[in-house]
Each structure stands twice: as structure tokens, then as C-alpha cells.
Amino acid sequence: MMRPAAGTPVSRVDGRLKVTGQAAYAAEHDAHDAVRGAVHGVIVTSTVGKGRITAIDTRAATALPGVLAVISHANAPKLPYRPFRRVTDPPRGEHLRVFQDDRVRFFGQPVAVAVAETLEAAQHAASLVKVTYAAERPATGLDAPAGSPNEPENYQRGDVDQALRQARTRIEQTYRLQREHHNPMEPHATIARWDGDRLTVWDKTQVVLNTRAALASVFGIAEDAVRVVSPFVGGAFGSALRAWPHVTIAALAARQVRRPVKVVLTREQLYTGTGFRPVTEYKLTLGADERGRLTAAVHDIRAETSAYEDYRESLLTQGQMVYTTPNVRQTYRSIPLDINTPTWMRGPGAATAAYAIECAMDELAHETGIDPIELRLRNEPERDPGTGAPFSTRRLRECLRTGARTVGWDDRAPEPRSTRDGDWLLGMGMAVATYHTARAPAQALARLHADGTATVQSATSDMGPGTYTSMTQVAADALGLPVSRVRFQLGDSAMPPAPPHGGSMTMASVGSAVADTCDKLRRQAVRLAIADPGSPLHGASAGDVVVQNGRLSLRDDPGRGETYQQLLARTGRPRLEARGGYTPGEETERYSTHAYGAVFAQVAVDERLGLVRVRRVLGVYDAGRIINPKLAHSQAIGGLVGGIGMALLEHTVTDPRDGRVVNANLADYLVPTNADVPDVNAVYLDGEDREAGPLGVKGLGEVVIVGVAPAIANAVFHATGRRVRDLPITLEALL
Amino acid sequence: MSDRLADEDHHDEAPGVSRRGFLSATAAGGVAAGVLPSVLAGPAGAAPAGAPGPHSSTLSVTVNGRRHQVTIDNRTSLLDLLRERLALPGTKKGCDQGACGACTVLVNGRRVNACLTLAVRCQGVEVTTIEGLAAGGELHALQQAFIEQDAFQCGYCTPGQIMSGVGCIREGHTGSREEIREWMSGNICRCGCYVKIVNAVQQAARKQGS
């Protein structure tokens, strides 16, 4: 038997392209000859946080040699901006309209673009554009909103007030998370080219179809007049789920100067030109009985959004389903501010909620004297406490026990501040992670070629998890081909539609579509063979024919058969082709499906300096079936590293006087470096979730950042006895 | 495609000076410097051919073993020269401020941030980029190790990590995982593959040492 490719640690099929510098990212397609003669657009951004533009002087800029245009609201055409809203757009509000009026809504808003023959000339020109403002003081903090809070999102079950009155133990605390930026290594970039009324863009995007829809709406053209190409994405973590203003700016500039235009955001511009994880204040009250069983929980949440869009994320899910809690009340308010709109960032909502819930659980464990793991086990539900639905699979107990065994949890002295290593106070903490398994309709196209190779495509993306590779594995198994003879293509809006490459749903959705499509193609080949008098398989029953290593044969008589090449050559076909897809069924309603994890952290805190050093992080995950353990492991340790950043380093600092991000660079906005990351490991429980979907996967990318920050915060408490409730935990909080 | 751009670059040369003639004329004096020449060749001195304007210079630089003569805007960084002029976008722009290491290349064998290096300072130097690391189609040991160890995800920091890793190995900073972590900390990997980057550097260092 040919061993299935799915489940094996195949190296990345695009690895060679990436290690040789041949993979073409958004800003590089002009060097790779996909588009020729691109000129450069450099964006000018507002230097006030709110107000109106009173004058724009572009004379010095346009006088420079090589400058083709300076475009601003003063000379930009009125754009149609047809209303549109994709699933990744906020539920309410309007997209920021580029160069359509004189209003400044936030510091760093694009106000003009300088277009020139060379990058140097465009940069210089942008620096010479003089913008005069009538400035107002922007609202940038949760306590001083730009307007009345948006309509809250509420949830309630049981009688919380009575349960809290009767609770044996109460924890009532407020946890604060600062704004975090995705900071993918590749800056967002777009190259746009018009051919008559048809627009092609090479864009950094997790959703080529979103960019296509956005541009069609902005310019009032048909979606099929827009093509979006994005074969490689240099990291995104959610930042490329929407088409941000610079995408429109590139297309607008290209139309104005009648040349292809490339716009690359500077690192600084990424902080206001794309979204971020919003500042969130999470007040949590827990009530528990004498055995530590939760009786009540009140979640009162406030998070920032822009004044022009009401961004929301799934902050409430976890509080409804993670622990048996009969009485729950939740309120989630978004607070409009004079800032750009937040957006999805890895583990959106869940990573934030888990921070508050899992720290509060640690506080409850300490208060009641119950071991933190035992406390979770006592509150483990048998069915989803929110919906009453059965769990498709929930193996959190195994995650907790496996992790505890691996890190030696039972040897941990429970008393805080009880373990030392010289000047270092040592601590070990843990937290639970959950993330909802999302699935969405997807389609694929597969072709079997005369040479016995296959190409399969879907308009999905690969921002790093290895979509190219895992889809190739799924396709190879369904086609009965080795991985080396299958090529998976993605990142082109001309391909069959796929949902956003985010929310951990790519494998479950696109993977299922690929499996369905390739199954159809294989069955088509089998039908062709058994109907063909020239085939050794003529007259066989389709159910008796298997395909292995590109050869069709009878299951019980392997000698009787032929290869795909022989079949296609004899029947005179250049190729066979099939389309297929996946539509989530009732299983998404019938079952409560989530990925789970238990995260363990060991830290050392310098008693005198307050310095926190992570010594070890381990995540143990129940994520259903793992298609590629090698890549899944990378994805998990990457999420854990992101969590280290969230816990200890990452914080976008805004100057309240004018709304400027004061640390909009990678020297002052700290992300984990190699020296910050010692022993980080992840383990996946074997198994699959048969109710989650055809492939049995539950999604990986999000759950692996959830729970890391609270595990580290709880470890810091265990090390020091100091409970720091505001992220990131910096040394001044521990002095 | 690099051929195409190299040919275009020839148009920058003055009529009558062939590429071959230029190379032979400058071959002796052009490569004597260390990492970066301490005495910068000014526009005039660097330009035996071409007609640079007041804000441009003619530069002769060897990239991946290939000599290029280009007239460049004096504001051009080595990074933008590679990416925007020489069609070598394998070297990445991550921050353009020397903070992320995505643009790491070897200049005369030593790792530098190409974004902080003005191209005009590269007169006569030898630059190695990720595109020049594989010899005749065979991957460098570290490139191979990156694939085997899965030391990347999105791949955008990867060229810089690999060039930095090559430097790290040459410098002899691979005595322990801790040492590698320290000497590879100028290269940010936002996908968080650090553990595997260390694995890959260790693997390649062992292989080269054996």
C-alpha cells in the first residue's frame, strides 16, 4: 500500500523557492517580470490626530525631476465607493475613503501620494508635500471616547446576582491588554496596473477575493474586471484580511498616471495603515462554591474601535463555553476613538478573553487553595454550557494531564515565591486555550495532465502555515499520486473561490474542497478506464478500482491495471478536469466544535531588576487530525512565541496629545527575538474529529497563541507573588 | 531576468566604453576594500564611464560574482539597488531602519544590513545575496538545513536569516544554542521559528565543520 501523504512530515513544497529568494512577494512582481515598468508611489500621512486639511502645497514636490503626480483630496477624482461589506469587515460603519474629503480622522491617515519614476524621487517628493491642518485634539483613550459608546453586545444565562451572593469565593478583577500590531515581516504592498477598464493588482492579502471586491466597489466596476494576484504572503496574522487604503491608493495612482504603480507601506505606516489588536479592558467577576466549582461569571468588556467603523471580535465565546458556569452575564462595549480601525489579530477575541479568564482562574485557585489544573478539571463541562450541544471532541483533560506530566507539574511547590535559582525567582504557570472551529464554503479545480501529474487550485492563501504543502498532501492522497507529482496553486482571484485565509479555517474548508475535487477527478479517471474497451480495467466495477502511485488497478488483482498516463494517452485526452467543493453542513450546528490546548510556562524573574525571562513554554493541543506534523509544529511554536510577545513585550504606545504612535518601528515596538526564545515546544494529541468535517481537522493557527500570555502571567505570579493584570508585564510592574 | 537588467545597465555607460573594457580597466583597483571602503569613491572618481548628474554616481559593484556598472541616485540604499535596480528581490525590506535583519547580505564576506548601507559606499565591493548562495543549483548547506528543519513559515525573513546564519557560522559563533541565539538575534522572525532556525544553523555548522 502507498502510504498516505496526509499525516506525514513532508517538507514545504515551496521551501526551495523561499530559501533561494525566488518566492515573489507583493512588492517584487515587477522584478519577477509579472508586471513591467512600475513606478513608485509613496504615501503622505497626516501629522495631526483629528481635524481638517486647510491647504496642500505640492509645488516643491511636483517640481522634482522624475515626479509624475501628487494626488490628494484636492485633485483626486470622486470615487464611486459602492457600499460593500465582507465577512472580515466590521459589522457597522464605512470604509475609510481615500482622498475624498478634507477630514482627518486619525494620526497617520493617508492624505496624499507622491508618484515618481524612482523610489528615491517619490520618497523625496512625499517629504516635500506641505499639508496645513486645522487640528483638534483627538480622543484616544477608553475613558474619553470620541462619541457615545456603540450598542453593547450582551449575553445572559441564569441568575448571576443571586449566584454571586451565594458564592463561597469571589474574584473580581480588571485585566487590561494594550494595543498590539501584527508587524508581519513583509510590509503591506500593492502593485496596480490598469489595462483599459480592467485592473490587475499584485497585493499582500490573505483573501484575494476581498481585495477584488473592495476594488470593484471603490471604482464602481464589475468584480470580474479586477484580478488580484498574491502567491506569497510574508506573514500577516490577520493584518491582510481586509483591503486597506493603500490598495486603493495604488490603483488610483495607476489610473491617474497611466502606468503601473507600486505602493509599499513603510514600517511606520503599517501602524496606522493596517489594523491591530485593540486595547481591551476586561472586568471579570467569578463566583465559586466550596469545591471551587464556578457558579457565576460576569464579564464586562470595553475595547477600542475607530469612530468610523465598529470593529468587533469574538470576545464572548470563551466565557460561555470553556467552563461549567450556570450563571453568566456578559457585556461587550466598543468605544469609538479617533484612531484607525482595529482588526483581526491571531487568536482574535479568544487570546484576549483567555487572558482575563485564565488569570482569574489562577487567582481563584490561589484563593481557594486548589491546584490550578485540578480547578480546571472540576469545572470541565460534559456539554457546551452555552448552547447545550454535545462537543464533537473535547480532550482538554488529556491536554492538561499530558502537559502536567511533561513539565513535572506535580513537583511544583504550590506556594508563590518559593523557588529560586540564585537571584532569579522561578515560577511555573498554566492556562487553557480554546478556539472555535470555523468552516466556510470553498471550491477547487483539479486537472490531471497527460504526463501523469496534477495541478489543483483554489483562491486561498499561504501566509506561512504551509497551505501549499498541506493541500498538496490532501490532493495527492485523493488522486492516488505521490506528492512530487501534484502541484497546488493559490493566491489568484481567477481561481475557484475560497474563504478568508484566517480564523483557522483553511484546512477544514479549502482542504475539504480539495479532497472532494480530487476524489471526483480520480473517480472520473476510473470511470473512463472501466468504460474503455482498450483498458485492462474494462468492465470492472468502479468500487473495485484503486489508484496508487498514479496507477489504477483492481484492489484484489493489482497486476491488472494501467497508469494515468497510459489511460490519457490511449483515450487521446490532453487532460481530465474536475471541479468540486465543500459546504459546511448541519454538523456546525449540531456540535460544539473547538480546538483546545493546555499551555505551560516556566519563567525566571530577577528579584532586584524585575526582569522576566521565559525559560520554557509547552503547548499541548487537541486540534483534531494533523495533516502535516512538521509544519503544524512550526505553526504552534510560532503561536507560542507570539504569546511571549503578547505577555512581555508588545505594546503600541499612543501619545494622547495628538494620537501619534510613538513607537511605530521595530526598535521600540518590541517583538520576541531569538534570544528571547529558549525552550519552546508543542505537542498535538493523536486523533481526529470526525464530526468537525470531512478531514477531521479542527484548526491550528489561532489556538496556539491563546492561553500563552495568561500562562506566563500566572508563572510570574507563582515566581514572585505579584499579580500583574496589565499586559505586557514589564519590569517596572515588578519592581 | 538579471540579464535583461544588466543589459539595460549597459545603456548607462558612455558610448565607446564596452562592458568588457570597463571591467578589465577596473578589475585591479576595485576590490581592495574591507567590509566597506573607508575612502568613498565620489561620483567623479567612481565614474570612468557614464554621465551621472549632480545627485547621482556611477557605481561598479560585484553581486553574486557578476560585475554591475550602474548609475544610481546617491540616495539609493544597497537594498533598493538590489531590489529595484538589479532585479534581485530575494533580499527583503522589512523595516528599512536596520532593526529587523531581513535585508542581511554579505559584503566582502561579512554580514551587513543592506538597508543601512548606501549603495555609493559599495564601490568595488563584493556582495553576496540569497540568490547567489546556491552553487550551480546545489543548495548551500544552510539553505538545505532550513528546509529540513522547517526553519521558516512565511519565508520573508528567511533570506536574511540564512545570510546572517552563514555569517554566524563563518564567525564561529555556533558553539552552543545560547551562542547561536545571541548572534542570530539581529534577525527577527515574526512567525516565531527561532527554535528551528537555531536547529538549522547548528546542523549546517556541524556539516561544514565535519
Nearest chain B CA: its distance from A44 CA (Å): 17
A18-136+185-235+240-273 against A440-583: fold identical: yes
CATH architecture type of domain B141-209: Orthogonal Bundle (1.10)
Give the start-to-end residue ranges of the domains of chain A. Answer: 18-136+185-235+240-273, 280-438+589-734, 440-583
Mean of the pLDDT values across residues A434-449? 97
Work out the angle at residue A636's Cα, subtended by the Cα atoms of residues A635 and A640, and round it to the nearest 5 degrees: 120
Hey, are the CB atoms on A637 and B196 less than 8 Å from each other? yes
pLDDT score for B34:
38
Q: What is d(CA B191, CA A350) in angstroms, rounded to the nearest whole number? A: 19
Contact between B101 and B113 (Cβ < 8 Å): yes
Put residue A460 in one of left, alpha, beta given phi > 0 → left and psi -120 to 50 → alpha.
beta
Given a cut of 60, whether residue A27 has pLDDT beyond it is yes
Tell whether B27 lies on the interface with A, counting CB pairs under 8 A: no
DSSP H helical ranges for A142-193? 160-166
Provide, as residue numbers in chain B, all residues whose Cβ is less than 8 Å from the Cβ of A465: 153
ipTM, two decimals, is 0.97
Q: Is B136 helix (H, G, I), strand (E, B) or coil?
A: coil
**Model confidence pLDDT, tens digit, residues A580-597:** 999 998 888 899 999 999
Q: Is a pLDDT exceeding 70 seen at residue A690?
A: yes
Domain boundaries defined on chain B: 2-132, 141-209
Instruction: Give the pLDDT band (50/70/90) at residue B1.
Output: very low
| pLDDT at A37 exceeding the cut of 50 | yes
- Tell me if chain B has a CB within 8 Å of the CB of A8: no
Answer whether A187 sits within 8 Å of B1, measured CB to CB: no
How high does pLDDT run on average in chain A? 97
- Which of helix, strand or coil describes residue B83? helix
The 10s digit of each residue's pLDDT in A305-325 is 999 999 999 999 999 999 999
Residue B46 pLDDT class (50, 70, 90 cuts): very low
A217-240 residue pLDDT tens: 999 999 999 999 999 999 999 999
- Taken as a whole, chain A contains a residue count of 735
Which CATH superfamily does the domain covering B2-132 fall into? Beta-grasp domain (3.10.20.30)
Q: Give the pLDDT score at B210.
A: 57
* Predicted confidence (pLDDT) at residue B52 exceeds the cutoff of 80: no
A702 as an active site residue: the answer is yes
CATH architecture of A440-583: 2-Layer Sandwich (3.30)
Q: Is A464 on the interface with B (CB under 8 A)?
A: yes
Distance from CA of B46 to the nearest CA of A (A): 20
Separation between Cα atoms, residue A351 and residue A695, nearest integer Å: 26
CA–CA distance, A462 with A454 (Å, rounded to integer): 20
Asked whether A237 and A184 are in contact (CB, 8 A), the reply is yes
pLDDT value at B25 more than 60: no
Q: Which of residues 621-640 of A touch B (CB under 8 A)?
A: 630-631, 633-635, 637-640
Chain A residues whose beta carbon lies within 8 Å of the beta carbon of residue B70: none
Q: In this structure, are residues A603 and A427 in contact, taking their beta carbons and an 8 Å threshold? A: yes
The confidence score (pLDDT) of residue B51 equals 52
Rg of the Cα atoms in chain B: 18
Digit-coded pLDDT (tens) for A514-549: 999 999 999 999 999 999 999 999 999 999 999 999
Shortest CB distance from A19 goes to which of B92, B97, B139?
B139
pLDDT, position B43: 35
Q: Which CATH class, in words, describes the domain spanning A280-438+589-734?
A: alpha beta
Residue A1: band (very low, low, confident or very high) from pLDDT cuts 50, 70, 90: low
Q: Are A104 and A47 within 8 A, CB to CB?
A: no
| pLDDT at residue B113 is higher than 60 | yes
For A105-115, write each residue's pLDDT tens digit.
999 999 999 99
Would you list the DSSP string of A677-691?
A: --EEEEEE-S---TT
* CATH of the domain spanning A18-136+185-235+240-273, picked from 3.30.365.10, 2.40.50.100, 3.40.50.1100, 3.50.50.60: 3.30.365.10
Among partner residues B83, B143, B182, which is closest to A19 by beta-carbon distance?
A: B143
**Structure confidence at residue A496 (pLDDT):** 98
Q: Is the per-residue pLDDT at A158 higher than 80? A: yes
Mean pLDDT of chain B: 81
Q: How many helices (H) and strands (E) does chain B have?
A: 7, 5
Q: What is the mean pLDDT of residues B79-106?
A: 98
Confidence of residue B12 (pLDDT cuts 50, 70, 90): very low
pLDDT one-digit tens code per residue, A126-146: 999 999 999 999 999 999 888
- Number of other residues whose CB lies within 10 A of the CB of residue A547: 21
- Asked whether the beta carbons of residue A185 and residue B84 sit closer than 8 angstroms, the reply is no
A574-589 in b/e form (b: 16+ CB < 10 A) is eebbbebbbebeebbe
